[in-house]
Amino acid sequence: MTINDKHTKRAFVMSILILALAFVSCAARTQAIKGPKSIASLEKVNIGGVEQWLLIRGYDTSNPVLLFLHGGPGVTEMPMAHDAWPEIEKKFVLVHWDQRGAGKSYHRGIPLDTMNVKQFISDTHEVVELLRKRFGVTKIYLVGHSWGSQLGIQVAQKYPELFYAFVSIGQVVNPTQGETITYQFVMDEAVKKQNKRAIRQLKQIGPPPYYTNNKFFILGWWMNKFGGVAYNKKHDYPHSFLRSLTSKEYNFMDLFRLYRGMLFSLKYMKDELLTFNAFEQIPRIEVPVYFLVGRHDYNTPWILVEKYYKILDAPKGKTLIWFDNSAHMLPFEEPEKFSDVMINRVLAETYIE
């Protein structure tokens, strides 16, 4: 169908506006879970002096609690994650948290001087304590994806007594080294595919480090295009955002906050994040740690994760599990395997009531 005449165009625009207004007016909620001990709650809490949002879902509130730390910073996974892992909700109380400045937790009143790693570690600790008190438990499970792995491994190192295990997905090891590996991967793919536009743009920005967001976004665009983010294109960043459009937990304004939060968080935290070096800062961890690694991940390059895994001192145990048909988005590219690992490996090997 083409939109040629004036009246058709006007009707089309009006339809879009009506849909937008419907989204705006629609209250965000989460689908109920049947059962006398179930929980399905979308709620606002005060963390570190800032209003932030939690999504808590589980079939049985006596099950162990799992806190999921999303990536970014600012890239919330709440609107696309919970319906991907129904089996996890049956065995855990699964908690998604839109961190300070991300998604539903983004607003203009966030103090800029709180957008730093120290504050996020404090926020995470506060959320953990809230969950421990609410569900009457001494320990919980901590899972971190991408930036969430960088945050999570620091929290697990600082407060090991609070966790049964830490599960790392797409571990951030050394962002500076990682960008160099990513650039080489993308350039090699561009040459192999004879993509002249990619070659030209990559030559223009040159190898990292990058001190402007424009160069960073160009590298990210081609990394996503060439499968370094999602090996299965259905789960790359654009498709993940489209999936968020159907989320019951997000309305139209929340999706707007998601976009603004990504830009906001990156602007104020990127420079600090680039100084992270797990080899030097986290040489030892006192909880069982599981590294879930996408074989094709060049967002947080698998080469560095494997290298870090080999040198990490983990007296309570360490495990590396490959996801051969995934890149960086492995929980969504291979959700059944992810659920199986969480239930039949992590939970089975570490949970003591």
* Candidate list 70, 96, 146, 296, residue with the active-site label: 146
Q: What is the pLDDT of residue 83?
A: 74
For residue 122, give the nearest of 149, 158, 97 by alpha carbon. 158
Per-residue pLDDT tens for 76-124?
999 887 678 999 999 999 999 999 999 999 999 999 999 999 999 999 9
Return the SS3 of 345: helix
340 is catalytic: no
Q: pTM (2 decimals)? A: 0.90
Banded model confidence at residue 62, pLDDT cuts 50, 70, 90 = very high
In the chain, domain spans: 39-176+232-350
60 is catalytic: no
Per-residue pLDDT tens for 196-232?
999 999 999 999 988 777 898 899 999 999 999 999 8
Ordered DSSP codes for 247-259: -TT--HHHHHHHH
For residue 119, give the nearest of 105, 139, 134, 99 by alpha carbon. 99
* Candidate list 82, 265, 297, 326, residue with the active-site label: 297
CA 265 to chain CA mean position, Å: 13
Distance CA 300, CA 308 (A): 12
With a cut of 90, say whether residue 337 has pLDDT above it: yes
Q: What is the pLDDT of residue 6?
A: 54
Which of 3-7, 255-259, 288-292 is predicted with the least confidence, judged by mean pLDDT? 3-7
Banded model confidence at residue 312, pLDDT cuts 50, 70, 90 = very high
Q: What is the pLDDT of residue 17?
A: 46
Tally Cβ neighbours within 10 Å of residue 1. Answer: 5
Mean pLDDT of 130-157: 98
For the chain, give the longest Cα–Cα distance. Answer: 71
Size of the chain in residues: 353
Banded model confidence at residue 2, pLDDT cuts 50, 70, 90 = very low
Domain 39-176+232-350 has CATH 3.40.1190.10: no
Banded model confidence at residue 13, pLDDT cuts 50, 70, 90 = low
Banded model confidence at residue 3, pLDDT cuts 50, 70, 90 = very low
Cα torsion 258, 328, 163, 283: sign: negative
Q: What is the mean pLDDT of the chain?
A: 90
Per-residue pLDDT tens for 225-251?
999 999 987 766 666 667 777 788 888
Share of the chain above pLDDT 90, in %: 76
- Give start and end residues of each alpha helix (H) in the chain: 6-25, 78-81, 86-91, 117-135, 147-158, 175-192, 196-205, 213-225, 237-244, 252-273, 278-281, 302-311, 330-333, 335-341, 348-350
* Candidate list 70, 235, 296, 328, residue with the active-site label: 328
Q: What is the pLDDT of residue 236?
A: 67
Q: What is the pLDDT of residue 211?
A: 78
With a cut of 70, say whether residue 280 has pLDDT above it: yes
7 is catalytic: no
